[in-house]
Amino acid sequence: MFRVLILAIVSFGVAGVGLWAQSKTHFEVQDDVSCEKIHFFLKASSGTCEIRTRHGDNPINIMGSSEQDYVTPEFGQQKDGDVLHTWLNLNDSGKEGFTSKMTKIFAKKSTDESNYWSIYFTDFKPYDLDLNYGVGKAYVDLSDIAVEKLKITSGNAHVKVGYHSNMGNRVEMDTFLVNVDLGDVEIDRLNMARAKVVVAEVGFGTLTMNFEEISEIPSEIWVRVGAGNLTINMQEEATPMMIRIKNTSYRKLKMPADFVKIRDNVYVNGAYQPEATNLLTFNIDLAMGSVVFSRN
């Protein structure tokens, strides 16, 4: 069965005083016992989006407020075997002025109250998440839910993702993908994602990875940095780590003093053991940007 739900607009505005019509929306995905996984795709051209965990009977609840002349929301869902594919597109209507758009680009860390979306997941089904942000601000708290795959894309948005309630992923994550163009992405408590593989690409923006505790499982972390910046913050010296850096004459790499070079372009910390069951292995391809490993 294929279903697409288009926003029914309810407008609140005052003519002649410069206020745009406002639209308030509620979408939901009801539980289907025959579905074993939820795949959710988000494309937010602008605005502020929050993702949080909330206990409830529905795997997805969405509540939003937007200026109907600027943003056209579209929500849909399609069942494919035991997987339910759902999506929310916050489309740019093309009516917003140049000055307003430029203001949002340069104020990407500011909350946009006129285009604000709250998305709630629950804790009883696994998810594959594909989250795409154009400009604006995003806050993603994945505490205490099961995420098997996660992809974060930031065009020119400020995105903060992590486990802010200090409760980790309910399952081991297969792959965590991050793509940063001109924006900036900060990942808190990355160790709580329990990701087997992390793949990131940084163009001109900034990516920050924060590891706040000892990892439970081994992780392979692959990062390609163009002209942007990558920062890895660590608080636990007991986590075994290896860094492989691709040789380039433009590289700029900093790391704590306890890392030692064991062969060309390969560094390990004091806790490193080849057979460690929670080894973090960083594979860095660095062009003209910078990579900094630090301890708080």
Q: pLDDT of 23-72, one tens digit each?
A: 788 999 998 888 999 999 999 998 899 999 887 889 999 999 888 777 88
Q: Can you tell me the distance from the alpha carbon of 190 to that of 174, in angstroms, rounded to the nearest whole number?
A: 14
- Residue scoring higher pLDDT (264 or 214): 264
Q: Can you tell me the distance from the alpha carbon of 147 to that of 105, in angstroms, rounded to the nearest whole number?
A: 30
- Residue scoring higher pLDDT (212 or 220): 220
- The mean pLDDT value for 236-253 works out to 81
SS3 per-residue string spanning the chain: CEEEEECCCCCECCCCCCCCCEEEEEEEECCCCCCCEEEEEEEECCCEEEEEECCCCCCEEEEEEEECCCEEEEEEEEEECCEEEEEEEEEECCCCCHHHHHHHHHCCCCCCCCCEEEEEECCCCEEEEEEEEEEEEEEEECCCCEEEEEEEEEEEEEEEEECCCCCCCCCCEEEEEEEECCCEEEEECHHHHCEEEEEEEECCCEEEEEECCCCCCCEEEEEEECCCEEEEEECCCCCCEEEEECCCCCCCEECCCCCEEEECCEEECCCCCCCCCCCEEEEEEECCCEEEEEEC
Q: Can you tell me the distance from the alpha carbon of 176 to that of 152, in angstroms, rounded to the nearest whole number?
A: 8
Residue among 27, 7, 14 at smallest CA distance from 70? 7
Q: What is the pLDDT of residues 91-131, one digit of tens each?
A: 887 655 445 554 554 555 556 668 899 999 998 899 999 99
pTM for the structure as a whole: 0.87
| Structure confidence at residue 3 as a pLDDT band (50, 70, 90) | very low
Indicate if the pLDDT at residue 11 is higher than 50: no
For residue 230, the model assigns a pLDDT of: 97
Indicate if the pLDDT at residue 84 is higher than 60: yes
Indicate if the pLDDT at residue 18 is higher than 80: no
Q: Encoding tokens for residue 261?
A: 């070079």
88-92, 178-182, 219-223: range with lowest mean pLDDT: 88-92
Distance of CA 47 to the CA centre of its chain: 15
- The mean pLDDT value for 241-251 works out to 80
Residue among 47, 10, 3 at smallest CA distance from 29? 3
Total domains present in the chain? 1
Domain interval for residue 152: 2-295
